[in-house]
Chains A and B, each alone.
Chain A
Amino acid sequence: MTTATIPLELNRKDFVSDQAVRWCPGCGDYSILAQMQKTLPDIGVPKENIVFISGIGCSSRFPYYMNTYGIHSIHGRAPTLASGLQIANPDLSVWVITGDGDGLSIGGNHLLHVIRRNVNLNIILFNNRIYGLTKGQFSPTSRSGKRTKSSPMGSIEQPINPLVMAMAANATFVARTIDSNPQHLGDILHQAAMHKGASFVEVYQNCVIFNPSEWDGLGDRKVRDENIIFLEDGKPMVFGKESNRGLRLRGYKPEIVDLGDEYSEEDLLVHDVTQKDLASILSVMEYPESPVPMGVIRKVEMPTYSDGLLAQVAKAQMTKGVGDLAKLFHSADTWTI
């Protein structure tokens, strides 16, 4: 691949393709696209080594707008193409762009397994809790009771929590961010890019047409600080406009407390991205049932799938010698006529 000696003088514009962006005006996808194009020049990877792979859905048009290599594949299967590509060529920076329908409904199985294998990918799941491209049916993350075209009397299903699913697959990098906070979004994308292994990022993303009020309490500056706990590794979990609230553990349950006479920062949970139990507790918290943690929830180093595979190749070549066809053909009882 391109050697690292070539100086990387890339800027945002290098990542903008010649295709007109066709998302609805006001769609949260624009923010994610802009932050991606802004972040990629800084990850130290030549442009030609970056690949975007998506499935089907509004979010999955993403690769067409990125001036990198890319595949707009089929519904739910982006992780499978990305796995094959990454295994064939482990030097690439491969991004999977998916949504709550693509990644958690039709492609739920693949998402689970690609994370479990720790394939070195960056998986960005746009969660708007609705089916957009098919014009407004409930999705696997829609809240119970959600009234949509396909659930006029309200959805009778329980939603799935994407981060809990990622944790079930023992994800090595789990984060959550939101389209309406570009700075935080850009920072999380950068951290996901720098992590070696399957990085899973849930982006709360707004569908202005079919689910416009889903994230109301998280976008508006007046109220958002009361509803979002921005996590920082090594720091106590303080939030609120006045930094006057915090998260503590009561028994095995997370609890929101007001700082003051009864509780101080010392009573609060201190974030540690390496602690799986803590990540499990944080991942359960979802908006609007509780204030929602945003940031890197878990980050640990583990060998990637390609690491394991290439180690086996090296070991086999050391013990058996580099593959020789003649030897292979004769590796059975032979006879000569």
Chain B
Amino acid sequence: MSDSTDLFNELESVVIRFAGDSGDGMQLTGTQFTNTAAVIGNDVSTMPDFPAEIRAPAGTLAGVSGFQVNFSSRDILTPGDTPRVLFAMNPAALKVSVPALESGGTIIVNSDAFTRSNLAKAGYESNPLEDGSLEGFQLIDVPLTSLNREALKDIEELSTKDKDRCQNFFALGMAFWMFDRPLDMTVDWIQKKFAGKDAVIEGNIKALHTGYYFGETTRTFQHRYRIRPATLPPGTYRKVTGNEAMAMGLVTAAKKMGKTLFYGTYPITPASDILHSLATLRNFDVRTFQAEDEIAAMGSVIGAAFGGALAVTGTSGPGVALKSEAINLGIMLELPMVIINVQRGGPSTGLPTKTEQSDLLQAMYGRNGESPIVVIAPSGPADCFNAAIEASRLAVRAMTPVFVLSDGFLANSSEPWLIPNPDDIPAIEVKHPQGRAADDAPFLPYKRDPETMARPWAIPGTQGLEHRLGGLSKEPETGNVSYVPEHNEQMNSDRAEKIARLAEVIPDQEVFGPEEGDLLLVSWGGTFGAVRSGVARAQRDGKSVAHAHLRYLNPFPKNLGDILKRYKQVIVPELNRGQLAFLLRGHFAMDIKSYSKMHARPFKISEITSKIEEALG
């Protein structure tokens, strides 16, 4: 749709941020922009950023909702450190976003929103559009509200308020013009989304077009940008968020086991979208159960696991705290189940919509008694799909609960996903013992498989295998209640050994970069993109630095200890106060340094490179 006379800046990648009031539709605007970027072949990585309040007071700093998207012609792993282009719909959005903006970056503001009252709400003493404080940026002020109202003035069915609701599409139109993007995908989306509401469709489409042509006709923008499609591996792609990928992974795992998926949960930010996705999949016989509380959700998962389903719960840290007694019962009953913790800022209610990695030790040790559990963590939004399948596989292999530690960033961020062929995904082997006649030898519910140490998964309805499970200490093999000291020792040891043996079937740890040397960065979970990008950048600058990103946190890969010993320094960057570093020190008795950050947002690549420079001197 571009005019050939325009001058384009050809860029490898651009980071753009849309910011406005939480009612301004910025999440939608950002999502539409991302969808178009993805479909025309850019690699994309997004970071939505919104307040916990559904509608904080309009115009205030607390109410600012932002959506950052990095789109690129090469493989990218993060939503970008510093936006180059900012769309700010009001003074508060400007104030919150400017500190992160790239110097010399472009700011497009809705100047109509810079009223005295809005400036006061944002805490501006003078108007930043006039007082020179934005010197050093390219400032473009557009009277967006009045232009949009004028454009829609003939649509009588829409009130002024309705028309103002279309103004995010005006902004999106400008963004599409600036980055030379087609409008048709968004037009299609508007038509589907608002089917039956013709005036709304007309208003939104007109706003979109008007914004686009405003860019073209007024030549307000000094720059237009062009970002060529990325050279990603061939195949068919879609965009997924971590929560969407997790839901699809769970459904896939259930299919690959030949099981019904039971998902018992209680709504909690930022995990609820997994429930929302699964609730639409009744045609897969997905049995979602919205329990009365977190404890009930976990109890229902244990019951469903006993009944032979692939039983899963999803929650966040505060929910795990409530679930811990029932998780321990799951460990004691030795039934397979998956517990997804979409971590958020803590402690207590903490920062519900923000990201952190501070529940690793809770997953490992947050229960009474000796309570070994499997812990794995996905490394990116699309990887949540694989993590869900892997967790299910390990759970049934060892007959035990498995934690998946996602986080708020992975959950809501999106990236392209190379859609797999379902037939290429290996089946997950599940064994159930066969029924028995009355005169057969008695069934031993805790007789362990010599290889995996798992006990048999005998499900109600199987003749002759009637047995009782419980949370009391047990005799080996029979599972009968026992207070015999040796039995208690044996069963504790067996449960630990069973988890440890999974190291035999998980892949060896890989290292990115030199196999030995001065510095190794070890990370886990949602920090993969920033740490890998930072290490790659440092390597390009000639630094001797390697990166090991852990997916398996319990048990660790067998070769991890050897890897750690091959570097003079090991630094663990984490969005907590050093939890993996603490585990590694305890496990390997080595000097491990922690790089901790608790700003409730992901690492920037530049923070990682600075840390590398500091360490290497």
A92 touches B255 (CB 8 A): no
Q: With CB as the reference atom, state the residue of chain A lying closest to B309.
A: A88
A227 to chain B, nearest CB (A): 36
Alpha-carbon distance between A84 and B237 when the two chains are bound, in angstroms: 36
Binds A, one of B133-141, B300-308, B597-605: B300-308
A335 touches B468 (CB 8 A): no
Alpha-carbon distance between A330 and B262 when the two chains are bound, in angstroms: 23
A89 touches B461 (CB 8 A): yes
Chain B 202-229 against A: per-residue CB contact (8 Å), 1 yes, 0 no?
A: 0000000000000000000000000001
B494 to chain A, nearest CB (A): 20
Total number of B residues with any Cβ neighbor in A under 8 Å:
76
A69 touches B285 (CB 8 A): no
Select B282's contact among A49, A64, A92, A313, beta carbons within 8 Å: A313
B471 touches A329 (CB 8 A): no
Chain B 506-522 against A: per-residue CB contact (8 Å), 1 yes, 0 no?
A: 00000000000000000
Chain B residues lying within 8 Å of A336, measured Cβ to Cβ, are: 234-237
Chain B 438-470 against A: per-residue CB contact (8 Å), 1 yes, 0 no?
A: 000000000000000000000111111111111
Chain A residues lying within 8 Å of B480, measured Cβ to Cβ, are: 19
Alpha-carbon distance between A86 and B39 when the two chains are bound, in angstroms: 44
Chain B residues lying within 8 Å of A66, measured Cβ to Cβ, are: 468
B199 to chain A, nearest CB (A): 26
Given A2-B461, A330-B419, verify A84-B329 contact (CB < 8 Å): no
Most chain A Cβ neighbours within 10 Å, of B262, B287, B293, B465: B287
A85 touches B466 (CB 8 A): no
Chain A residues lying within 8 Å of B333, measured Cβ to Cβ, are: 71
Chain B residues lying within 8 Å of A109, measured Cβ to Cβ, are: 292-293, 296
Q: With CB as the reference atom, state the residue of chain A lying closest to B262.
A: A88
B303 touches A80 (CB 8 A): yes
A74 touches B326 (CB 8 A): yes
A302 to chain B, nearest CB (A): 19
A85 touches B307 (CB 8 A): yes
CB contacts between A and B, total, < 8 Å: 219
Chain A 300-337 against B: per-residue CB contact (8 Å), 1 yes, 0 no?
A: 00000000010011011101111101101110111111
Alpha-carbon distance between A67 and B463 when the two chains are bound, in angstroms: 12
Chain A 82-101 against B: per-residue CB contact (8 Å), 1 yes, 0 no?
A: 11111111011000000000
A333 touches B38 (CB 8 A): yes
Select B38's contact among A317, A328, A329, A335, beta carbons within 8 Å: A335
A84 touches B419 (CB 8 A): no
Alpha-carbon distance between A72 and B467 when the two chains are bound, in angstroms: 11
Q: Is A46 an interface residue (CB 8 A)?
A: yes
Chain B residues lying within 8 Å of A70, measured Cβ to Cβ, are: 467-469
Alpha-carbon distance between A333 and B472 when the two chains are bound, in angstroms: 52
Chain A residues lying within 8 Å of B255, measured Cβ to Cβ, are: 323, 325
Total number of A residues with any Cβ neighbor in B under 8 Å:
62
Alpha-carbon distance between A300 and B536 when the two chains are bound, in angstroms: 68
Q: With CB as the reference atom, state the residue of chain A lying closest to B291.
A: A80
Select B300's contact among A87, A112, A313, A317, beta carbons within 8 Å: A87
Alpha-carbon distance between A96 and B568 when the two chains are bound, in angstroms: 59
Q: Is B4 an interface residue (CB 8 A)?
A: no
Chain A residues lying within 8 Å of B229, measured Cβ to Cβ, are: 337
Given A71-B470, A73-B470, verify A313-B238 contact (CB < 8 Å): no
A55 to chain B, nearest CB (A): 10
Most chain A Cβ neighbours within 10 Å, of B38, B40, B281, B295: B295
B236 touches A335 (CB 8 A): yes
Q: Is B35 an interface residue (CB 8 A)?
A: yes
Given A87-B289, A329-B419, verify A81-B302 contact (CB < 8 Å): yes
Select B281's contact among A68, A72, A323, beta carbons within 8 Å: A323
B304 touches A337 (CB 8 A): no
Select B302's contact among A63, A84, A328, beta carbons within 8 Å: A84
Q: Is A42 an interface residue (CB 8 A)?
A: no
Select B468's contact among A17, A92, A112, beta carbons within 8 Å: A17
Alpha-carbon distance between A109 and B297 when the two chains are bound, in angstroms: 13
Given A84-B301, A320-B283, verify A48-B461 contact (CB < 8 Å): yes
Q: With CB as the reference atom, state the residue of chain A lying closest to B42.
A: A335
Which positions 469-514 of chain B face chain A at CB distance < 8 Å? Answer: 469-472, 480-481
Select B262's contact among A51, A79, A87, beta carbons within 8 Å: A87
Chain A residues lying within 8 Å of B361, measured Cβ to Cβ, are: none
Chain A residues lying within 8 Å of B421, measured Cβ to Cβ, are: 326
B285 touches A323 (CB 8 A): yes
| A-B contacts besides A74-B326, A79-B296, 6 pairs, CB < 8 Å | A73-B470, A84-B302, A87-B287, A113-B292, A323-B283, A335-B236
Q: List the interface of chain B (C-beta within 8 A of A).
A: 35, 38-41, 185, 229, 231-240, 248, 251-252, 255, 260, 262, 264, 281-287, 289, 291-293, 295-309, 311, 325-326, 329, 333, 419-422, 435, 459-472, 480-481
Q: Can you pick out 24 interface pairs between chain A and chain B where the beta carbons lie within 8 Å of each other?
A: A47-B466, A71-B306, A72-B472, A73-B471, A77-B299, A77-B326, A80-B298, A80-B300, A84-B302, A85-B303, A86-B307, A113-B296, A317-B285, A322-B283, A325-B255, A325-B422, A328-B284, A329-B422, A330-B236, A332-B240, A333-B38, A334-B39, A335-B41, A336-B235
